A and B are shown apart, each in its own frame.
Chain A
Amino acid sequence: MPTFLINGVSTTVPEGTTILEAAGQIGIEIPHYCYHPKLSIAGNCRMCLVEVEKFPKLQISCNTVVTEGMVVRTDTEKVRKAVTGVLELMLLHHPIDCPICDQAGECGLQNYYMKFGLHKSRYALEDKVHKKKVQDIGGQIVLDAERCILCSRCVRFLREVTGTCEMEFFSRGDHSEISIFPGRPLRNDYTGNLADICPVGALTNKDFRFKCRVWFLKSADSICPGCSNGCNIHADFKGDILYRFRPRRNDAVNQTWLCDFGRLEYKKANEDRLLTPVIREGGQSVAADWDAALFATSLKFREAVEAGGPESVAVIASPQSSNEELFLVRKLAKEVLRTPNYGFSSRTPGRPASDDFLIKADKNPNSKGAMLFGFTEEGFDRTVRAISERKIRALLVFGNVLADFAEGEIGPLLSNVPFIAHVGTNNGALSRAAHAVLPSASFAERGGTFTNFAGRVQRFRPGFPPRGKARNDIGIVAGMANLLGAGWTLAGEASVFQALSASEAPFSGMSYESLGDPGQVAGGPK
């Protein structure tokens, strides 16, 4: 644990820490482009130069390990001139097309220019080297070679993280540029990360290009709902529309990466949403208010239980629901409806993509949570069997899992059920077949926790209130339960989590505070 002085501040850091990392830990900003915490050290941008006592030359702080008694300064005139000098060189051939560049607002060149540059250009406009702009290089990425500062992050990412090596440097000197090999576009499932790690506007995401200026976006710390890996994300939105997902660092889950499938998951919260409760009777669909819809639904369940006993109702939970919601759904099924017919399914039709990195075959964020709350695939199969035997009079279905089957094997079965209530976010076969459609808030519109495939419980936070008349599942379930005489008093997901951690062994001792940013493993060491 060497102790060293940086700008006069004495700091002790773990063995092997570089000056750049150490400075970051105590809030001293050292500008850099090529350094990335999850990639090898390239040391070629030369922005992170600092003065180290006893070294005649300025040193790159990204590759200089702190040693005992080292004296470092980042705030001298010599350093400042060097950094400004490098920045000037970096901008020499840059097209300065910020007004039409998607990176504007989150651009390393803009930010550092405002902090360390502010110089007038000394370079003749006609001397600028021009390179090819707007190149579709495959995956989600468009390359603008003129904006590139040749930091090599993209090349290293493809070499070290995906191992696919699609990009390289071509030519030399100030004609150097990055590109793919002719006719060999990006071919991996993580291309979107290239736009994230590109510190400038050279690599931008096709999906996000020209959609929204980044300064209009707000961001919620969330969890990707696209599979059971539980990658941490920033869900970026404007108003009640999501624009993009960006990975949020969690070294225990996704480091700083996100797959290309997950990256487009945000669209589901924007498109084809269920926004109003609907009651269907005698072939007529009627938009209803929540009181009426919940009342009608509860009534059907009460009548079913009265007519055929608790065995004649069933609840299918969703692995897209949060732990908090699943906890209440199970209470509703077991304690209020007292039915043995409850279960869930994480099955996805077809052959879902998966790999040995982030992409999991289970395309649900909370299958593990559903299992921890006692929902099983057997329960799901049992319920389906009961439906086929015409034993179910009222069915409550959460989420879209069953919908994937609605047009297949299970589809014809649905006509066997006299009353189906569907709690879901998006239009689909199930919402079309249901007798009561109860529109639910998307992952971006509500908070809670998911338990990923490895049992890690992680929080996701709401970005904005539910769209239309959609409502938080907690409110929907509690509303139904209370109409069925449960008498629950609940105030939001935090209090539900408190209740479940008190009663559910795998979650015992957990709180939103203890989960923090990295989350905690259910049933694991405290």
Chain B
Amino acid sequence: METVLTTHFADEQYRRVDRYLELGGYEALRKALSTPKEQIVEEVKKANLRGRGGAGFPAGVKWGFLPKDLSRPRVLVVNADEGEPGTFKDRQIMAKAPHLLLEGIAIASYAMTIHVSYIYIRGEFVREAKILEDAIAEAYAKGFLGKNLLGSGFDLDVTVHRGAGAYICGEETSLLNSLEGKRGWPRIKPPFPASVGAFGLPTIVNNVETIADVPWIVANGGEKFASLGVEKNGGTRLIGVSGPVNRPGVYELSAGVLLREVIYTHAGGLKDGKALKAVIPGGSSTPVLRPDEIDVTFDIESMGKIGTMPGSGGVIVIAEGTCMVRALSVLMKFYAHESCGQCTPCREGTGWLAKVVGRIENGQGREGDLELVLDVCDNMMGRTICPLADAAVMPAQSFIWKFREEFDRHIRDQKCPFGNRF
């Protein structure tokens, strides 16, 4: 299958600009700089490139939200905060193909007449931040960034900004506040970042993978990119598989791939021939699937039909013998810890869920606890500024709906049948 991003991942030198150039790097930028800007945006629209951060918003459409008026400078922010549990794909791009990302940034910035771009990178990605810094220095030296890009008269500065370790800063408006040096709290919308974003300027926030797809789209055309995927979900996508599988890792696959193939063909199936118990398909916040639900393709619409989503492409495989209550309890503790504390339902609700699920796992569950959890979920879902409350609710609801018997048993027996361990 044709690959867009991972073609040269195995090449250790690919992260250096010289090797990147030998393999045809920055040719797309050269091409873009002599292409009308609208045409680039048009190609991205044709590519059916959907945001890879989790929400799946069409990138070309998002770019079109920038005000037509150029009187105020605009900003491109690359979201490299990758904090969704189970997701580790952007990290691979930054570590193995930093110039691919920079080339994408340069093309996207040129297409949107943006002269300032930030890469907001998760604080824990120390090594990747260093690789990016080195790559940026190389790109400046070669004239791919900075003043007068490749003699085109177009200027672009790129800055790496390291986050300080909050999951919420992966949410785009929270990220913008953090970038501005403020507390990482999501902003209420409207106004949307495209009109009032970083430092009050019109801003586009795109995921690393989304931007890294752009050079290929410019080089090969939007239709070609679209044809790599399925209807409405153009191109390939990076799918990270974790859990007890034989070959955990990041795979570049078409959105038309079946989840079953991802697990059993690409990731080599479960270790020690264990049976599959459950799969979280798109990062920890996406609703969990049972083994009988995995014959589903990895596109947004198909996943949507069975009540879940491909999200950020983080497939978490759960094998037999794993306690689902314990698993949910771990997730709930995560969301309670990461809730920014701004909106009441999330601030109080995530903590409440963590406490109730925690006590069920610890053999202190009470009758009615599951109804309580589901009711609290109802009071959280869709009631907050950002989707963090939803992100906590979706696993809670789906775990209980799909593995109810296991929860009931914990409460009935006042203990964990799995011995309270993974």
Residues of A participating in the B interface, judged by any CB pair closer than 8 Å: 41-47, 49, 56-58, 60, 63, 81-82, 85-86, 88-90, 92-93, 122-124, 127, 129, 149-150, 152, 168-169, 171-176
Task: Please give, as numbers and ranges, the residues of chain B lying within 8 Å of A58 by CB-CB distance.
Answer: 382-383
Residue of A nearest to B379 (CB): A85
B348 near A92 with CB under 8 A, answer yes
In the bound assembly, the distance between CA atoms of A174 and B342 in angstroms comes to: 10
- Min C-beta distance of A204 to chain B, whole Å: 22
B379 near A176 with CB under 8 A, answer no
4 further A-B contacts with Cβ under 8 Å, apart from A60-B188, A150-B347, are A41-B188, A82-B379, A172-B337, A174-B339
- Min C-beta distance of A310 to chain B, whole Å: 68
Within 8 A of A (CB), among B310-356: 336-345, 347-352, 355
B383 near A174 with CB under 8 A, answer no
B355 touches which of A47, A127, A169, A171 (Cβ 8 Å): A127
Task: Please give, as numbers and ranges, the residues of chain A lying within 8 Å of B385 by CB-CB distance.
Answer: 43-44
Task: Please give, as numbers and ranges, the residues of chain B lying within 8 Å of A173 by CB-CB distance.
Answer: 336-341, 347, 350-351
For the complex, is B183 an interface residue (Cβ under 8 Å from A)?
yes
A82 touches which of B166, B336, B347, B383 (Cβ 8 Å): B383
- Min C-beta distance of A83 to chain B, whole Å: 10
Task: Please give, as numbers and ranges, the residues of chain B lying within 8 Å of A81 by CB-CB distance.
Answer: 378-379
Residue of B nearest to A57 (CB): B382
B344 touches which of A41, A86, A122 (Cβ 8 Å): A86
B344 near A44 with CB under 8 A, answer yes
For the complex, is B21 an interface residue (Cβ under 8 Å from A)?
no
Task: Please give, as numbers and ranges, the residues of chain A lying within 8 Å of B372 by CB-CB distance.
Answer: 122
In the bound assembly, the distance between CA atoms of A168 and B342 in angstroms comes to: 12
A63 near B188 with CB under 8 A, answer yes
For the complex, is B113 an interface residue (Cβ under 8 Å from A)?
no
A46 near B383 with CB under 8 A, answer yes
A42 near B188 with CB under 8 A, answer yes
Task: Please give, as numbers and ranges, the residues of chain A lying within 8 Å of B379 by CB-CB distance.
Answer: 81-82, 85-86, 88-89
A172 touches which of B188, B338, B345 (Cβ 8 Å): B338
Cβ-closest 9 pairs across A and B = A176-B341, A85-B379, A174-B351, A89-B348, A43-B188, A173-B339, A57-B382, A44-B342, A92-B348
Residue of A nearest to B339 (CB): A173
A169 near B341 with CB under 8 A, answer yes
Task: Please give, as numbers and ranges, the residues of chain B lying within 8 Å of A122 by CB-CB distance.
Answer: 372
B348 touches which of A41, A43, A93, A172 (Cβ 8 Å): A93
A172 near B340 with CB under 8 A, answer yes
* Per-residue interface assignment for chain B, residues 44 to 82, with 1 indicating a CB less than 8 Å from any chain A CB and 0 otherwise: 000000000000000000000000000000000000000
For the complex, is B384 an interface residue (Cβ under 8 Å from A)?
yes
- Min C-beta distance of B186 to chain A, whole Å: 9
Task: Please give, as numbers and ranges, the residues of chain B lying within 8 Å of A43 by CB-CB distance.
Answer: 188, 385
In the bound assembly, the distance between CA atoms of A124 and B369 in angstroms comes to: 12
In the bound assembly, the distance between CA atoms of A122 and B376 in angstroms comes to: 10
B341 touches which of A41, A45, A127, A150 (Cβ 8 Å): A150
In the bound assembly, the distance between CA atoms of A516 and B379 in angstroms comes to: 45
Task: Please give, as numbers and ranges, the residues of chain A lying within 8 Å of B339 by CB-CB distance.
Answer: 172-174
- Min C-beta distance of A96 to chain B, whole Å: 15
The residue in A63, A86, A149 that gathers the most chain B C-beta atoms within 10 A of its C-beta is A86
B345 near A89 with CB under 8 A, answer yes
In the bound assembly, the distance between CA atoms of A46 and B384 in angstroms comes to: 7
- Min C-beta distance of B397 to chain A, whole Å: 15
Task: Please give, as numbers and ranges, the residues of chain A lying within 8 Å of B355 by CB-CB distance.
Answer: 124, 127
In the bound assembly, the distance between CA atoms of A43 and B188 in angstroms comes to: 7
Task: Please give, as numbers and ranges, the residues of chain B lying within 8 Å of A149 by CB-CB distance.
Answer: 344
In the bound assembly, the distance between CA atoms of A85 and B336 in angstroms comes to: 18
Residue of B nearest to A65 (CB): B190
Task: Please give, as numbers and ranges, the residues of chain B lying within 8 Å of A85 by CB-CB distance.
Answer: 345, 378-379, 383
Task: Please give, as numbers and ranges, the residues of chain A lying within 8 Å of B347 by CB-CB distance.
Answer: 89, 150, 173-174, 176
- Min C-beta distance of A338 to chain B, whole Å: 67
A92 near B352 with CB under 8 A, answer yes
The residue in A150, A168, A173, A175 that gathers the most chain B C-beta atoms within 10 A of its C-beta is A173
Residue of A nearest to B384 (CB): A46
B183 near A89 with CB under 8 A, answer no
Task: Please give, as numbers and ranges, the residues of chain B lying within 8 Å of A56 by CB-CB distance.
Answer: 382
In the bound assembly, the distance between CA atoms of A265 and B236 in angstroms comes to: 72
In the bound assembly, the distance between CA atoms of A175 and B351 in angstroms comes to: 9
- Min C-beta distance of B356 to chain A, whole Å: 9
B351 near A46 with CB under 8 A, answer no
Q: What would be 8 A-B contacts, judged by CB atoms less than 8 Å apart?
A: A44-B343, A46-B343, A46-B384, A57-B383, A122-B372, A173-B340, A173-B350, A174-B351
B352 near A123 with CB under 8 A, answer yes
* Per-residue interface assignment for chain B, residues 376 to 398, with 1 indicating a CB less than 8 Å from any chain A CB and 0 otherwise: 00110011110000000000000
- Min C-beta distance of B123 to chain A, whole Å: 15
Residue of A nearest to B337 (CB): A173
In the bound assembly, the distance between CA atoms of A174 and B336 in angstroms comes to: 8
Task: Please give, as numbers and ranges, the residues of chain A lying within 8 Å of B343 by CB-CB distance.
Answer: 44-46
In the bound assembly, the distance between CA atoms of A69 and B378 in angstroms comes to: 29
A174 near B382 with CB under 8 A, answer no
Residue of B nearest to A41 (CB): B188
In the bound assembly, the distance between CA atoms of A168 and B339 in angstroms comes to: 17
- Min C-beta distance of B417 to chain A, whole Å: 24
Task: Please give, as numbers and ranges, the residues of chain B lying within 8 Å of A176 by CB-CB distance.
Answer: 340-341, 347
The residue in A85, A89, A92, A171 that gathers the most chain B C-beta atoms within 10 A of its C-beta is A89
In the bound assembly, the distance between CA atoms of A86 and B344 in angstroms comes to: 7
B345 near A86 with CB under 8 A, answer yes
* Per-residue interface assignment for chain B, residues 207 to 234, with 1 indicating a CB less than 8 Å from any chain A CB and 0 otherwise: 0000000000000000000000000000
The residue in A45, A92, A93 that gathers the most chain B C-beta atoms within 10 A of its C-beta is A92
